[in-house]
Amino acid sequence: MEISISREVVERIRQQVKLGRFASENDVVSEGLRLIEERDRNYADWVAETREKLRKGVEDADQGRTVSGEEARQKVSDACAG
């Protein structure tokens, strides 16, 4: 595999090693990839949870389990306050 990395990125990687945060340049890149993968998993989990909440909300609305706009605004306001 051949990879081109800008001088700026190479310097940033070397700086992490120089500061003692990582033992090698490879460790810096590996940690970066690990964090990207973790972020992607977290995003996928968030999307799945959000879809489930939306599905439940639509189901509740279909069953007539709703509140007025004012009541919803108040509930959101209360939740944000404390």
Give this prediction's pTM.
0.72
pLDDT for res 82: 75
Q: Is residue 1 part of a domain?
A: no
The number of distinct structural domains making up the chain is: 1
Condensed to tens digits (0 to 9), the pLDDT of residues 23-71 reads: 999 999 999 999 999 999 999 999 999 999 999 999 999 999 999 999 9
Cα dist from 46 to 8, 15, 40, 43, 61, whole Å: 33, 33, 10, 5, 22
Q: Is residue 11 part of a domain?
A: yes
Residue with tokens 């509740």: 60
Domain housing 34:
7-81
Q: Is residue 2 part of a domain?
A: no
